[in-house]
A and B are shown apart, each in its own frame.
Chain A
Amino acid sequence: MFDFLKNLFSGEKSGDVAKERLQLVLIHDRNDIAPEKLEALKVDMVSLLKKYLEIDEMGIRMELERRNKSVALVADIPLKSSQRQIRGRKKNG
């Protein structure tokens, strides 16, 4: 009876919460990429990006991240600071 009243006022049913949580966790489970695969993807991506940008290969981070209602592949790819900027900084300092 208490649960019934709680449901009535909170608006959110625990069954709905369960479904939502399950859907999220399964997107993640089903897309779970083996570490070797992610590493191979990283190598491919780096070789592509290198054609256009100077990137800091050591600083690359890549992972699946759980968002609000989905899962995203998040890549953090730092660019190498260009020579000009460094020179500029030296001058000011």
Chain B
Amino acid sequence: MACRIIVITSGKGGVGKTTTTANLAVALANEGYRVVAIDGDVGLRNLDVIMGLENRIVYTLVDVIEGTCRLNQAMIRDKRTENLYMIPTAQSRTKDAVSAEQMLDICGQLRKEFDFVLIDSPAGIEAGFRNAAAGADEALVVTTPEVSAVRDADRIIGLLESMEKAPISLIINRIKPDMVKRGDMLSTEDVLDILAVDLIGVVPDDESVVTSSNKGEPLTFSNSSRATKAFLNIAKRICGNEVPFMDLSDDQKGFFSSLKRIFGN
């Protein structure tokens, strides 16, 4: 299949870009595709720790660009699954260590060897984001159901459109179904109403995301939580499969659910 290069971005920091990148990379590799995940956040790298590959770094993307090593020397193979690689970036450098042209060149080389190249973008709308997005064809925008995150998502969608990335799909992360039910959180429909962009997944807020990052084991390796299911579904949709959206309303933590449980209804 023709390689697809996808940048995972958000504008606002801390909404789950890196977690999404790691989980989708693993899920796509488990589907049998050849996948490489690139850390595009020079100076604040984190994809390595989220994937649990931090102890295996020898060379980084910046070393490749500076000619210190070949591209395949910087690719860390994830031994937990077939066909999954991660390219770390440099921690002790600044954003200008990788230019848009250099990123484009690296992506061009990877295109020949992989089905999917996922690029974890830094937060922000400046050079770091632009360079990370330079080599991508498509974009996944991650947001949470909060005013600040949705506002930044709107800004980043505008920028991605002007960069002619397509398709641009939205992931709503960390939604709390019981809060939505109470009317105390923006719902999926609210966010879509405002952003007018294609939805590709809704990931419920889940403690398993924290424990998996503690251990450096992306959920999609084996976990069976609802967040895991949500990430697996997104991976399937990326591959063009029609997967119905999970019904999150049967959440057992809601007030009415507690009442129902108490009264045995």
> Using a CB–CB distance below 8 Å, which chain A residues touch chain B?
1, 3-4, 7, 13-16, 18-19, 21-23, 25-26, 29-30
A-B complex: 7 closest residue pairs judged by Cβ atoms: A13-B183, A15-B183, A14-B184, A19-B190, A18-B147, A22-B147, A18-B186
Q: Which of chain A's residues have a CB closer than 8 A to the CB of B151? A: 22, 25-26, 29
What is the chain B residue whose CB lies nearest that of A12?
B183
CB of B183 within 8 A of CB of A23, answer: no
Distance in angstroms between the alpha carbons of A29 and B151 in the assembled complex? 9
Question: Which of A1, A13, A21 contacts B147 (CB under 8 A)?
Answer: A21
Known contacts A19-B190, A22-B194, A23-B194; is-contact A14 B183 (Cβ 8 Å): yes
CB of B154 within 8 A of CB of A18, answer: no
Distance in angstroms between the alpha carbons of A29 and B184 in the assembled complex? 24
CB of B187 within 8 A of CB of A18, answer: no
Known contacts A25-B151, A26-B154; is-contact A19 B186 (Cβ 8 Å): yes
Q: How far is the CB of B254 from the nearest CB of chain A, in Å?
A: 10
Interface flags for B247-265 (1: CB within 8 Å of A; 0: not) read 0000000010000000000
Interface flags for B207-224 (1: CB within 8 Å of A; 0: not) read 000000000000000000
How many residues does chain B have at the interface if contact means C-beta atoms less than 8 Å apart?
A: 19
Q: Which of chain B's residues have a CB closer than 8 A to the CB of A7? A: 182-184
Q: Is B197 an interface residue (CB 8 A)?
A: no
Q: List 9 A-B contacts (CB under 8 A).
A: A7-B183, A14-B185, A15-B184, A18-B147, A22-B150, A22-B186, A25-B147, A26-B151, A29-B151
Q: Which of chain B's residues have a CB closer than 8 A to the CB of A1? A: 255
CB of A3 within 8 A of CB of B184, answer: yes
What is the chain A residue whose CB lies nearest that of B183?
A13
Q: Is B106 an interface residue (CB 8 A)?
A: no
The SS class assigned to the A binding surface is helix
CB of A29 within 8 A of CB of B190, answer: no
Question: Which of A18, A23, A26, A30 contacts B146 (CB under 8 A)?
Answer: A18
Known contacts A19-B194, A22-B151; is-contact A4 B255 (Cβ 8 Å): yes
Interface flags for B172-215 (1: CB within 8 Å of A; 0: not) read 00000001101111110010011000000000000000000000
Instruction: For the A-B complex with A3-B182, A3-B184, A18-B185 known, give 9 more contacts whose Cβ atoms are closer than 8 Å.
Output: A4-B182, A13-B184, A14-B185, A15-B186, A18-B147, A22-B150, A22-B194, A29-B154, A30-B158
Known contacts A4-B255, A21-B147, A29-B151; is-contact A15 B194 (Cβ 8 Å): no
Q: Is B226 an interface residue (CB 8 A)?
A: no
Q: Which of chain B's residues have a CB closer than 8 A to the CB of A22? A: 147, 150-151, 186, 194
Distance in angstroms between the alpha carbons of A30 and B182 in the assembled complex? 30
What is the chain A residue whose CB lies nearest that of B180?
A15
Q: Which of chain B's residues have a CB closer than 8 A to the CB of A14? A: 183-185
